[in-house]
Structure 1
Amino acid sequence: MKMLKTITPILLVGVVLVGCNSNEQTTEPTKIEGGKKIEHMHGLSYQDDTIFVATHEGMISTSDKGESWYTVSSHDNDFMGYHALSNGEMITSGHPGKSSNLPDPLGLLKSTDNGITWEEVSLQGKIDFHILDANYSNTDIIYGLNQMGSGKYGAGIFKSIDGGENWDKIEPVGLPDDLHKIYTLISLPNNDSELLAGTQNGVMRSEDSGETWELLDGNRLITAITVMPNESKDLVSYSITQDEAGIMKSSDNGQTWDYIGLDLGEVAVNNISINTDNNNLMSVTTFNNSVYVTEDGGGNWKQTIDAGTIK
């Protein structure tokens, strides 16, 4: 694989980081001044034309393609596993911030107002999901990856069929024993029981809701994956092979991939989001806390946050 020995350590640092208390709080949305350092970008989404980024000190957003950034609310939680559902709701896990009285870990939280307020849904004090994915076509089906611990709420894949109220634990067979070696996970939009996982061993596939896994592509490293929000429901990923790296699209559930752009060399993408109304608008975050946006479907990209620093 292309530059795998140099990329992998960066990925592992990005995946295993856990939450810590925030050092700065705000009481309502405020503009973030240039030079401010943003740490640990754990998730990304478009809501209309606004880009939201989940960090370890709360949510930030931009409505002008990264020219200016704002805090979303006073919530300073470490939002791990952040994921935006196709119905516009947001879900997250993680750890409470300094201003929060929520239990640690957060379990599953949900927001229906673009991250201004959060509702406790389930598993408070029990699980910190580092990866969450709701099926694009049926948002009641949610998969969560807990990478640490043992027992009922320990390491494994968890599945909910009722929007996160109740969960069944799956102890996957065939995945790496160390679940920190999983970088991304997606439930395919045309079959909610079929999953793809980007792992250190390559791309893996499950056809039984994550119970058993087989290697789909051992020559490809996928570090982020999402669904193209249109009728095609193609998959879009950050994909690395021996020959190329960058944003790629698959129309056959990950069997083959077509290159779009954005080869970042030794730093890989950890989140991808695509605007629902205009698929030419895309954004990504990286494992070194940079943000890039494109307005032409991925041909040209502009960096709006550089290694965590607001420009």
Structure 2
Amino acid sequence: MIKKFGLAAGALLLAAGLAGCGTGGTAERDAPPTAAADADADPGVGHVHGLGVDPATGTVYVAGHFGLFTVEAGKLVRVGDRDADHMGFTVAGPGTFYASGHPSAQDITAGQPPHLGLIRSADAGATWEQVALAGKADFHALQVAGTRVYGYDTQTGQVWRGEGGSLTPGARLDLLDLAAGAGKPETVYATTPDGVKVSADGGRAFRLLKGAPLLSFLDVTDGGGLLGVAPDGRVQVSADGAAWTPRGRLPMQAVAFTAVSAERLLAASMDGSVYESTDGGGTFTTIHRP
């Protein structure tokens, strides 16, 4: 994403016939939030940008253009009173989340810089604290690998890595999603228009992962395997990155996707529907429909 709205995102999602504002990023998606026409009305989630599950509670979280929500009895319930644009979102551990994106329209009007940098919540999204690069970075992809955090900043087109509050820039490349696991935190994968790429040095340099299918989103599972989804919605799994096996297919093209585990997967569609699989992508059920 050398441009603000992201070239890789457009390429990978347009390959599936998408347009508009998905996880892949477009000019609209990258724009800071705008206020709702009725200031008293809750604008809802808007476009879905990220998904996750709090391991402390099993609760599903949906991050979007107008804040963070939980899925409860098929409905989205806002977390706290924030309506910031969570362009990047990931669950780091029990009650601990990382996010990035843009402040709310009201905060921008009040003078807050248009980029959040990296922020963190230690209370399941109720409150947030600044971690790094406030006002500078806009991470559209975030990934935690043990104590390490990886982020892809659309302002510089670089992969950043770090622990604690210190982040270091790495390679420049066009990507949509990042994947890494706690077992091998130095190994990080990226989904790109050229195919899946892998780095063995913490994101400093990447090479093409031969044999991998074209994927929009990818995750490293707890056992060290790879699980991703193609632009056409087909789930693909691999134990070693060389041989891949297709599973089921999502009932739509994914604009957000995460493998909570090798069996539990979450995905979202352009219309805001959220899907869940509990059999490793063999089948999916709808857990929220707007």
> What is the rounded CA distance, in whole Å, between the counterparts of 2:213 and 2:259 in structure 1?
21
Out of 49-58 and 204-213, give the one that drifted further: 204-213
Identity within the alignment, %: 27
Is 2:79–2:125's contact at 8 Å kept on the other side of the alignment?
yes
Q: TM-score, normalised by structure 1?
A: 0.75
Count matched residues.
268
Give runs of aligned pairs for residues 106-255 of structure 1, distance below 5 A.
106-135=116-145, 138-139=146-147, 141-148=148-155, 154-160=156-162, 162-163=163-164, 165-172=165-172, 175=173, 179=174, 182-217=175-210, 220-229=213-222, 232-239=223-230, 245-252=233-240, 254-255=241-242
- 5+ residue gaps, structure 2, are 1-11
Secondary structure in structure 2 of the residue aligned to 1:144? strand
Is 2:76–2:288's contact at 8 Å kept on the other side of the alignment?
no
> What is the rounded CA distance, in whole Å, between the counterparts of 1:203 and 1:281 in structure 2?
22
1:146-175 deviations in whole A, cap 9, x for unaligned? 123xxxxx3311111x23x11111243xx4
Corresponding position: 1:21 with 2:28: no
- Residue number among 247, 251, 274 corresponding to 1:260 in the alignment: 247
1:264 deviates by 4.0
> What is the rounded CA distance, in whole Å, between the counterparts of 1:52 and 1:89 in structure 2?
12
- Residue number among 42, 48, 51 corresponding to 2:49 in the alignment: 42
CA shift in 2, pair 1:25/1:118, >3 Å: farther
Is 1:76–1:99's contact at 8 Å kept on the other side of the alignment?
no
CA shift in 2, pair 1:287/1:193, >3 Å: farther
Is 2:178–2:219's contact at 8 Å kept on the other side of the alignment?
no
Is 1:79–1:95's contact at 8 Å kept on the other side of the alignment?
yes
Corresponding position: 1:272 with 2:274: no
CA shift in 2, pair 1:6/1:83, >3 Å: closer
Partner of 2:103: 96
CA shift in 2, pair 1:26/1:193, >3 Å: farther
CA shift in 2, pair 1:170/1:287, >3 Å: farther
Partner of 1:105: 115
1:8 deviates by 4.8
1:80 deviates by 1.2
> What is the rounded CA distance, in whole Å, between the counterparts of 1:87 and 1:52 in structure 2?
13
1:199-236 deviations in whole A, cap 9, x for unaligned? 1111111122222221113762111122334xx24222
Partner of 1:151: none
Is 1:26–1:74's contact at 8 Å kept on the other side of the alignment?
no
CA RMSD of aligned residues (A): 2.9
Is 1:82–1:92's contact at 8 Å kept on the other side of the alignment?
yes
Secondary structure in structure 1 of the residue aligned to 2:47? coil
> What is the rounded CA distance, in whole Å, between the counterparts of 1:205 and 1:263 in structure 2?
25
> What is the rounded CA distance, in whole Å, between the counterparts of 1:83 and 1:55 in structure 2?
12
- 5+ residue gaps, structure 1, are 149-153
CA shift in 2, pair 1:192/1:263, >3 Å: same
1:58 deviates by 0.4
1:92 deviates by 0.5
Is 2:101–2:116's contact at 8 Å kept on the other side of the alignment?
yes
- Residue number among 10, 26, 48 corresponding to 2:18 in the alignment: 10
Is 2:150–2:160's contact at 8 Å kept on the other side of the alignment?
yes
CA shift in 2, pair 1:22/1:9, >3 Å: farther
> What is the rounded CA distance, in whole Å, between the counterparts of 2:282 and 2:171 in structure 1?
40
CA shift in 2, pair 1:11/1:89, >3 Å: farther
Secondary structure in structure 1 of the residue aligned to 2:18? helix
